[in-house]
Amino acid sequence: MRLEPLISTDDIQAKVGELAGAVERHGTKDLLLIGVLKGSLHFLSDFSRRLSGDVQIDFISVSSYADGKESSGIVQIRKDLDTNIEGRDVLIVEDIVDTGATLRHLRELLGTRKPRSLKVVSLLSKLQARGISSDIEYVGFEIPDEFVVGYGLDYGERYRNLPYIAILREG
């Protein structure tokens, strides 16, 4: 396996600041951030610290990838929220959107719990690369349809601690 750098630490940090600015312009009063474990760990940490408001943080864990590089399309909840989101302004914080199945499922599930609003911020998206349009409110980078690791993203639980994002190449 070979790592081909795609997005530098500095570029990630600049984009995280931009995304926080965009979210703040729409108001963060009483906002609840929901980090999707584990991939969003660094993004949620950096992003939440760029928001000046008093936000709350919770986590949800879902699985869609078995162990490899292909999405299984089957989404299971592994750890549910601790927070009652009824009447709350909720922002799902995701690392990457690939097929969109995970977010579709999360929106459906959390939507039934009657939040006041439900939006999504994702650092990365491959949807454009796949020719699929999406309804994600805030996207950091549109990336090519390649498997990437680093800054929270893993391959078989490896590479999450890389401070930058890289394409994982065979050989």
- With 0-12 / 13-18 / 19 or more C-beta atoms within 10 angstroms meaning exposed / middle / buried, residue 58 is middle
3-state secondary structure of 60: strand
The least distance separating ligand IMP from the CB of residue 141, rounded to whole angstroms, comes to 12
Among 28, 83, 99, 128, binds ligand IMP (CB under 6 A): 99
Start-to-end CA distance of the chain, whole Å, equals 5
Task: Please say whether the beta carbons of 89 and 60 come within 8 A.
Answer: no
Cα–Cα dist 34/31, whole Å: 10
Nearest residue to Mg ion by CB is 39
Residue 101: both structure tokens together: 């199945």
Shortest distance in whole angstroms from residue 25 CB to ligand IMP: 26
Binds ligand IMP by CB under 6 A, chosen from 28, 147, 160, 164:
147
Which among 21-29, 76-84, 96-104, 109-117 is the span making contact with ligand IMP, rule CB under 6 A? 96-104
- Of 9, 28, 71, 83, the one binding ligand IMP by CB under 6 A: 71
- What residues make contact with ligand IMP under the rule CB under 6 A? 36, 39, 64-65, 71, 94-102, 147-149, 153
